[in-house]
Amino acid sequence: MVHALNEIHRVLAPDGIMIDLRPLAGNWPMEVATSRDFLEAGRVSDSPTGLEDDRAANESMTKAGTQKWFIRQREEYFPFFYYWDSPNEMKEYVDEHWADFITIDETTWRNVRSQWAVANADARLRVRVKMLITRWKKI
C-alpha cells in the first residue's frame, strides 16, 4: 500500500488533495430500526483479517506522513448504515460479502431475529459501520 501512496503522490498536482475513505473494524452494532427509533440487538465480531487490514492501512498512512509525501489536514469518523428488510436477507449478505472481515455467532443471530420479530411492522435491520475519512494534502 505504501507503493500506491507513492504513486498517488506522483500523479497529484502540487497542493493536491488525497481523501482516504474507508470502513474500520469496531465490532459494528446490529440494530433493529423503525421510523421512530432503534434498538441495538447485538454486535458483530471483528475477524483477525479485518483488524490486520486496518493495522496495515494505518501503518501505510503514517509512513506517507513521515516520508513527507502528505500532511494530514482533517479527520473524522462517521456512521455508514446498511439496511435489510429481514434477518434472512441480512445473513445472506453477510455470508456472501463480509465473511472475511466479521463473524456473527448463533446467539447474536437468535437475539437479532427475536428482537426483529417483536418490533413494529416497519422495522428493518441495520449495521452501523464505522467509517474514517481523512484529508491529506500533498507536500
Partner 1 sequence: MTLQKDPERTETKYLHQYADFTGKRVLEIGCGDGRLTWLYAKSTHDMVGIDLNADDLRVATIERPADAPVSFVRADSVCIPFIKEKFDIAILAWSF
* Residue 68: count of CB within 10 angstroms of its CB: 9
Closest CA to 52 of 92, 109, 108, 1: 1
Question: What is the widest separation between alpha-carbon atoms in the chain?
Answer: 57
* Residue 21: count of CB within 10 angstroms of its CB: 11
Q: Establish if 22 lies at the interface with partner 1 (CB under 8 A).
A: yes
Size of the site for partner 1 (CB under 8 A): 39
Q: Establish if 95 lies at the interface with partner 1 (CB under 8 A).
A: no
Q: Establish if 83 lies at the interface with partner 1 (CB under 8 A).
A: yes
- Interaction pattern, residues 35-64, with partner 1; x per rule: CB under 8 A: ------------------xx-xx--x----
Taking the complex as a whole, how short is the minimal distance between the CB of residue 94 and partner 1, in angstroms?
11
Distance of alpha carbon 104 from the chain centroid: 15
Of 40, 52, 85, 122, the residue at the interface with partner 1 (CB under 8 A) is 85
Q: Which residues are CB-contacts of 46 (< 8 A; sequence separation ≥ 6)? A: 25, 26, 27, 101, 102
Q: Establish if 33 lies at the interface with partner 1 (CB under 8 A).
A: no
Residue numbers at the binding site for partner 1 (CB under 8 A)? 1, 3-4, 7-8, 10-14, 16-23, 53-54, 56-57, 60, 74, 76, 78-85, 89, 92-93, 131, 133, 135
